[in-house]
């Protein structure tokens, strides 16, 4: 075993360099970004006295960082759970080396994630961070999510959501994916709709407040509101694009939150949040893939910044998108865009 540091936390992990779900302690350094964003988001929301539920805690790194890095008034209590046999022992060791003193507001449990959630009185923040699909944990999480709570969902089964395995997407997410350059945005919108449908059964309206796609995973934070009318409004924003979908047509971000996160971000996250901020201003589903358009129309690929300037001069909005290095999010039509590139 060796000790590593991430943020303000210290934890013990296996010496093994290959990340595998079979490891006695699961820690993936690539997901530091995911944890950094979660902390920034919670510190940027007005919510206080959170009752935090971490049903799939792994090494405990996320919760330990929450305890050490969230603002003072944020946490009322925090519950760590994982079904790995050594979980309690490992978590206690990690508390010790991270200098966390246990008290009645730090609850530890070692059982199946669903049993753990259902046996509690509920949480105002639940983080579903599974291997693969979040599906097995959605019912219990949404049942136990408080009226105004926040649900964070990670999905690493992007091959299903992005259309490598179309039937897997139909089975798991009740939608037809799209296997082209838009696949990540379409995939995350399919995931969002699925989570919203599960919530609809419990008269809970879940709206995304911050969503992104990165490396091998999708991440979405939802705000919950109770009530049938609100749920009906959410479902009205589900629809098809040709044979693709159904998917979420609403916004992927709550703009004031993105603005706050950008303001509070440390320099390493600024570029990413700046890009999200500018694309969140444009209310369209999907983006134009400039490389694909130029390849198809046999045109030279223009420089992106001057192209966006010209689009704006014509009275449209334009932004880069974090979903693709070749994409421009804009409310301009394809025909008009092609005409600009030609000239
Ligand atoms: C991706 S890891 C979690 C990583 C952690 N949240 C972090 O930020 O580092 C998924 C964890 O879920 C646990 N797990 C998988 N299925 C479970 C279940 N049904 N009940 C409880 N824990 C489960 C695994 O043992 C593993 O530690």
Residues 270-317: tens digit of each pLDDT: 999 999 999 999 999 999 999 999 999 999 999 999 999 999 999 999
Distances 266 to 7, 69, 141, 201, 275 between C-alpha atoms, Å:
12, 13, 31, 39, 15
- What number of other Cβ atoms are within 10 A of residue 84's Cβ? 18
Thinking of the domain 2-261, which architecture would CATH place it in? Answer: 3-Layer(aba) Sandwich (3.40)
Q: Is 219 in the pocket of ligand 1 (CB under 6 A)?
A: no
Terminal CA-CA length for the chain: 61
pTM (2 d.p.): 0.98
> What's the mean pLDDT in 160-169?
97
Query: Does the beta carbon of 142 sit less than 6 angstroms from any atom of ligand 1?
Result: no
Query: Is the distance from CB of 51 to CB of 149 less than 8 angstroms?
Result: no
Q: Where are the beta strands (DSSP E) in 31-155?
A: 50-54, 75-81, 106-109, 123-128, 145-155
Question: Strand locations in the chain, DSSP E?
Answer: 2-6, 9-13, 50-54, 75-81, 106-109, 123-128, 145-155, 204-214, 217-226, 238-241, 244-248, 288-289, 318-321, 324-330
**pLDDT at res. 21:** 81
Structure tokens at 292: 């694909």
Q: What is the pLDDT of residue 76?
A: 98
Domain ranges of the chain: 2-261, 285-342
Report pLDDT for 18.
76
**Chain length of the chain:** 343
Tell me how far apart the alpha carbons of residues 306 and 252 are, in angstroms, rounded to a whole number. 27
* Distance in angstroms (rounded) separating the CA atoms of residues 179 and 259: 32
Q: Is 307 helix (H, G, I), strand (E, B) or coil?
A: helix
For ligand 1, say whether the CB of 37 is within 6 Å of any of its atoms: no
Report whether 91 contacts 80 (CB < 8 A). Answer: yes
Q: What is the pLDDT of residue 225?
A: 98
Beta carbon of 110 within 6 Å of any ligand 1 atom: no
Q: Residue 176 has which token pair?
A: 């037809």
pLDDT tens across 61-105, in order?
999 999 999 999 999 999 999 999 999 999 999 999 999 999 999
Kindly state if the Cβ of 130 falls inside 6 Å of ligand 1: yes
- Rounded average pLDDT over 181-195: 98
Q: Counting beta carbons within 10 angstroms of the beta carbon of residue 47, is it exposed (0 to 12), middle (13 to 18) or buried (19 or more)?
A: middle
List the residue whose alpha carbon is closest to atom 14 of ligand 1.
56
The number of the ligand 1 atom at minimal distance from the alpha carbon of 127 is: 6
Please classify residue 329 by burial: count the beta carbons closer than 10 Å to its beta carbon, then call 0-12 exposed, 13-18 middle and 19+ buried.
buried
CA triplet 236, 160, 134: central angle to 5 degrees?
70
pLDDT value for 1: 86
Split at pLDDT 50, 70, 90, the class of 26 is: confident
Looking at 5-14, 15-24, 47-56, 257-266, which range is the least confident one? 15-24
Long-range contacts of 305-314, Cβ-Cβ distance < 8 Å, separation of 24 or more = 307/340, 307/341, 310/340, 311/337, 311/340, 314/340
Asked if residue 16 has pLDDT above 90, the reply is no
- Sign of the dihedral through C-alpha 115, 218, 252, 234: negative
Ligand 1 centroid to residue 265 C-alpha, Å: 27
**pLDDT for residue 342:** 96
Average pLDDT over residues 152-157: 98
Inter-helix orientation angle 290-297/334-342, to 10°: 70
CATH of 285-342 among 3.30.360.10, 3.40.50.10480, 3.30.56.70, 3.10.20.30: 3.30.56.70
C-alpha of residue 112 to centroid of ligand 1, in Å: 10
Kindly indicate the confidence band of residue 151, based on its pLDDT and cuts at 50, 70 and 90: very high
- The fraction of the chain above a pLDDT of 70, given in percent, is 100
Tell me if 293 sits within 8 A of 335, measured CB to CB: no
Among 286, 32, 61, CA closest to 183 = 286
Counting Cα atoms < 13 Å in the Cβ hemisphere of 266 gives: 8
């Amino acid at each position: 075993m060796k000790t590593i540091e991430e943020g303000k936390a210290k934890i013990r992990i296996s010496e093994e360099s290959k990340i595998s779900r079979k490891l006695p302690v699961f820690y993936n350094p690539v997901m530091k970004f995911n944890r950094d964003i979660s902390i920034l988001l919670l510190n940027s929301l007005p919510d206080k006295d959170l009752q935090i539920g971490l049903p799939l805690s792994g090494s405990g790194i996320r919760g330990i960082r929450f305890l050490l890095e969230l603002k003072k008034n944020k946490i009322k209590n925090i519950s760590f759970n994982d079904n790995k046999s050594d979980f309690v022992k490992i978590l206690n060791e990690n508390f010790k080396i991270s200098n966390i003193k246990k008290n009645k507001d730090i609850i530890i449990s070692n059982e199946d994630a669903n049993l753990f959630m259902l046996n509690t009185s509920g949480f105002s923040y639940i983080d579903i961070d599974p291997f693969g699909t979040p599906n097995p944990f959605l019912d219990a999480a949404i049942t136990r999510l408080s009226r105004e709570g926040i649900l964070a969902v990670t999905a690493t089964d992007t091959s299903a959501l992005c259309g490598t395995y179309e039937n897997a997407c139909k089975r798991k997410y009740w939608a037809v994916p799209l296997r082209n350059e838009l696949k990540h945005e379409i995939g995350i919108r399919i995931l969002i709709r699925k989570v919203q449908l599960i919530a609809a059964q419990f008269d809970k309206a879940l709206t995304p407040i911050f969503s992104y796609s990165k490396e091998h995973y999708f991440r979405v934070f939802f705000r919950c509101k109770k009530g049938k009318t609100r749920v009906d409004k959410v479902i009205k924003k589900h629809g098809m694009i040709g044979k693709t979908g159904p998917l979420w047509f609403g916004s992927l971000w709550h703009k004031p939150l993105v603005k706050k996160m950008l303001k509070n971000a440390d320099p390493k996250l600024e570029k990413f949040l700046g890009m999200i901020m500018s694309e969140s201003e444009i209310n369209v589903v999907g983006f134009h893939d400039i490389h694909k358009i130029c390849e198809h129309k046999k045109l030279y690929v223009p420089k992106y910044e001057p192209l966006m300037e010209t689009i704006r001069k014509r009275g449209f909005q334009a932004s880069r998108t974090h979903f693709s290095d070749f994409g421009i999010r804009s409310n301009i039509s394809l025909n008009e865009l092609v005409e600009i590139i030609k000239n």
